[in-house]
Structure 1
Amino acid sequence: MRTWFEPDEDEEFEAAKALLVRRCLTWAGERRLPVEGVIVDAALESRHRSRDGRVCFWNARQVRRFLLEWIPHHVVASREVLDAAPDSLTTMFRYLAEAGLRDPRGATPAELEAAVDATAAEYPAVLDDPDRQSVATFWTRTALDHGVDLTDGKAVARFRRDVDAGRVDYDADLLDRLVMARFFESGPDEERAFPQPPVTLPPPAELTAAAARSEVVRQLVALADWTGSGGRALTGTGNLRLTDARELAALLGTGEQDLRARSAAELPKVGLLVAWAKAARLVRVSKGRLLRVAKAAPLLREPERLWSRAFESFFDLGAAIGASRSPLARLFDEIVDDALNSVYGMPAPMPVARLAEPILLACEDYLGFDDGVWREQVRQGLDSTFEALAALGAVELSHGLADELYSSDLDIDDHDLPPDARARLRARLAEPSPLVRLSPLGVRAVRDRLLAEGRDAPLVGELAGAAPAELLGMLAQHYPQEQAEEELRRWLAANGGSVEPLLDAVRACPFRSRAAALLDTLVRLHADGRAMLPRLRDDRVLGPIALTALVDAGTVRPEQLSPREQLSLMAEGLLNLLELGGPQQVVAQLAEVAGREASEIVAAVANSDHPADVAMAEFRSLVSVPARAPRHRLRMPDGHAPGSRGSRSRRGGRGRRRG
Structure 2
Amino acid sequence: MRTWFEPEEAEEFEAAKDLLIRRCVTWAEEHGRPVDGLLLSAAVDARHESRDGRLAYWDGARIRFFLLRYVPYKVTASRQELDLAPEVLCTYLRYLDVTGLRDPRGATLAEAEEIIVGARAEYAAALDDPTLRGVATFWAHTALGQGVDLTVPGAFERFKRDLDAGRVPYDEQVLDKIMQNRFVNGGISEERAFPQPPVSLPPASELMEAAARSQTVQRLITLAAWAGKDGRALTDAGNLRVADALEVSALLGTGEDQLRVRSATDLPQLNLLLAWAKKLRLTRTSKGRLFRVAKAAPLLRDPQELWRRAFEVLPELGRVVTVPAATWQPEPILAEIFDEILPDVLNSMYGLDEMPVARLEETVWLACQEYFVLDQEEEGLRDLWRREAARDLGRMFEVLSDLRAVELTRGPADPLYASDLDHDDQPLPPDAVERLRTALAEPDLPLVRLTPLGVRGVRDRLLAEGRDAPLIGELATAPPAELLGVLAQHYPPQDAVAELQGWLAWPGHDVEMLLQAVRDCPFRTRVGAMLRVLADALPERRLLHDLRRDPVLGPAVWTQLIDAGEMKPGSLSERENLLMGAENFLSVLELAGPEGLVEQLKRMGGGDAYEFVEAILASGHPDVVGLRELRELVAEPLRKTTRHHPLRLVPTRPPGARGRRKKRKH
User: Which of 530, 546, 552 is residue 563 of structure 2 equivalent to?
Assistant: 552
Are 2:509 and 1:503 equivalent residues in the alignment? no
Shift of residue 492 of structure 1?
0.2
Are 2:458 and 1:446 equivalent residues in the alignment? yes
In structure 1, the residue matched to 2:194 is: 194
In structure 2, the residue matched to 1:422 is: 433
In structure 2, the residue matched to 1:622 is: 633
Shift of residue 443 of structure 1?
0.7
Shift of residue 368 of structure 1?
3.0
In structure 1, the residue matched to 2:662 is: none
CA contact (8 A) 2:476 2:503 kept: yes
Q: CA separation in 1, counterparts of 2:282 and 2:125?
A: 42
Q: CA separation in 1, counterparts of 2:474 and 2:599?
A: 44
Q: CA separation in 1, counterparts of 2:475 and 2:507?
A: 11
In structure 2, the residue matched to 1:644 is: none
CA contact (8 A) 1:198 1:459 kept: yes
User: Which of 475, 478, 488 is residue 476 of structure 1 equivalent to?
Assistant: 488
Instruction: Flag the 1:38–1:254 CA change in 2: closer, same or farther, 3 A.
Output: same
SS in structure 1 of the partner of residue 258 of structure 2: coil
Amino acid of the residue matched to residue 270 of structure 1?
A: L
Q: CA separation in 1, counterparts of 2:227 and 2:162?
A: 73
CA-to-partner distance for each residue in 1:267-304, whole Å, 9 max, x for gaps? Answer: 22222222222222221111111111122223323222
User: Which of 529, 534, 554 is residue 517 of structure 1 equivalent to?
Assistant: 529
CA contact (8 A) 1:512 1:575 kept: yes
CA-to-partner distance for each residue in 1:52-81, whole Å, 9 max, x for gaps? Answer: 111100011111100111111111112221
In structure 2, the residue matched to 1:295 is: 295
Amino acid of the residue matched to residue 361 of structure 1?
A: L
CA contact (8 A) 2:232 2:291 kept: yes
Shift of residue 240 of structure 1?
1.4
In structure 2, the residue matched to 1:4 is: 4
Q: CA separation in 1, counterparts of 2:254 and 2:395?
A: 14
In structure 2, the residue matched to 1:655 is: none
Deviates more, 1:76-85 or 1:42-51: 76-85
CA contact (8 A) 1:65 1:188 kept: no
Q: CA separation in 1, counterparts of 2:67 and 2:253?
A: 54
Instruction: Flag the 1:275–1:584 CA change in 2: closer, same or farther, 3 A.
Output: same
Deviates more, 1:375-384 or 1:332-341: 375-384
Deviates more, 1:45-54 or 1:166-175: 166-175
Q: CA separation in 2, counterparts of 1:155 and 1:90?
A: 33
Amino acid of the residue matched to residue 69 of structure 1?
A: R
Q: How does 1:68-83 map to 2 (within 5 A)?
A: 68-83=68-83
User: Which of 595, 598, 604 is residue 584 of structure 1 equivalent to?
Assistant: 595
Are 2:119 and 1:125 equivalent residues in the alignment? no
Q: CA separation in 2, counterparts of 1:183 and 1:132?
A: 13
CA contact (8 A) 2:497 2:537 kept: yes
In structure 2, the residue matched to 1:306 is: 306
Are 2:287 and 1:282 equivalent residues in the alignment? no
Amino acid of the residue matched to residue 425 of structure 1?
A: L
SS in structure 1 of the partner of residue 316 of structure 2: coil
Amino acid of the residue matched to residue 517 of structure 1?
A: A
Are 2:371 and 1:366 equivalent residues in the alignment? yes
User: Which of 333, 344, 357 is residue 352 of structure 1 equivalent to?
Assistant: 357
Amino acid of the residue matched to residue 77 of structure 2?
A: A
CA-to-partner distance for each residue in 1:578-629, whole Å, 9 max, x for gaps? Answer: 1111111111111111122211111111122000111111111111233334
SS in structure 1 of the partner of residue 466 of structure 2: coil
Shift of residue 319 of structure 1?
1.6
SS in structure 2 of the partner of residue 291 of structure 1: strand
Are 2:352 and 1:340 equivalent residues in the alignment? no
CA contact (8 A) 2:609 2:642 kept: no
Are 2:252 and 1:246 equivalent residues in the alignment? no
Shift of residue 92 of structure 1?
0.7
CA contact (8 A) 1:69 1:187 kept: no
Consecutive unaligned residues in structure 1, runs of 5 or more: 635-659
**Size of the alignment, in residue pairs?**
631
In structure 2, the residue matched to 1:98 is: 98
Q: CA separation in 2, counterparts of 1:487 and 1:626?
A: 45
Instruction: Flag the 1:169–1:419 CA change in 2: closer, same or farther, 3 A.
Output: farther
Q: How does 1:394-413 map to 2 (within 5 A)?
A: 394-413=405-424
In structure 1, the residue matched to 2:497 is: 485
Amino acid of the residue matched to residue 36 of structure 1?
A: D
Instruction: Flag the 1:333–1:269 CA change in 2: closer, same or farther, 3 A.
Output: same
SS in structure 2 of the partner of residue 240 of structure 1: coil
CA contact (8 A) 1:575 1:615 kept: yes
Deviates more, 1:443-452 or 1:95-104: 443-452
Shift of residue 413 of structure 1?
2.2
Deviates more, 1:475-484 or 1:300-309: 300-309
Are 2:573 and 1:562 equivalent residues in the alignment? yes
State the identity %: 56
- Alignment RMSD, CA only? 2.0
In structure 2, the residue matched to 1:637 is: none
In structure 2, the residue matched to 1:645 is: none
CA contact (8 A) 2:407 2:449 kept: yes
Amino acid of the residue matched to residue 609 of structure 1?
A: G
SS in structure 2 of the partner of residue 437 of structure 1: strand
Shift of residue 169 of structure 1?
4.4
Deviates more, 1:456-465 or 1:358-367: 358-367
CA-to-partner distance for each residue in 1:376-426, whole Å, 9 max, x for gaps? Answer: 332222111110110111100112222122222232323333333333332
Amino acid of the residue matched to residue 476 of structure 1?
A: A
CA contact (8 A) 1:5 1:13 kept: yes
Shift of residue 305 of structure 1?
2.1
Deviates more, 1:109-118 or 1:608-617: 608-617
Amino acid of the residue matched to residue 407 of structure 2?
A: E
Q: CA separation in 1, counterparts of 2:286 and 2:388?
A: 32
Q: CA separation in 1, counterparts of 2:464 and 2:572?
A: 53
CA contact (8 A) 1:322 1:377 kept: no
**TM-score normalised by the chain length of structure 1:** 0.92
Q: CA separation in 2, counterparts of 1:138 and 1:391?
A: 52
**TM-score normalised by the chain length of structure 2:** 0.91
CA contact (8 A) 2:472 2:495 kept: yes
Amino acid of the residue matched to residue 89 of structure 1?
A: L
Are 2:217 and 1:217 equivalent residues in the alignment? yes
Instruction: Flag the 1:253–1:106 CA change in 2: closer, same or farther, 3 A.
Output: same
Deviates more, 1:453-462 or 1:349-358: 349-358
CA-to-partner distance for each residue in 1:117-143, whole Å, 9 max, x for gaps? Answer: 011111112112221111122333345
Consecutive unaligned residues in structure 2, runs of 5 or more: 324-329, 645-666
Bigger relative CO (Cα 8 Å, ≥ 6 apart): 1
CA-to-partner distance for each residue in 1:118-175, whole Å, 9 max, x for gaps? Answer: 1111111211222111112233334555666656765555554454444544444433
In structure 2, the residue matched to 1:38 is: 38
Q: How does 1:606-617 map to 2 (within 5 A)?
A: 606-617=617-628
CA contact (8 A) 2:198 2:469 kept: yes
Q: CA separation in 2, counterparts of 1:14 and 1:633?
A: 31
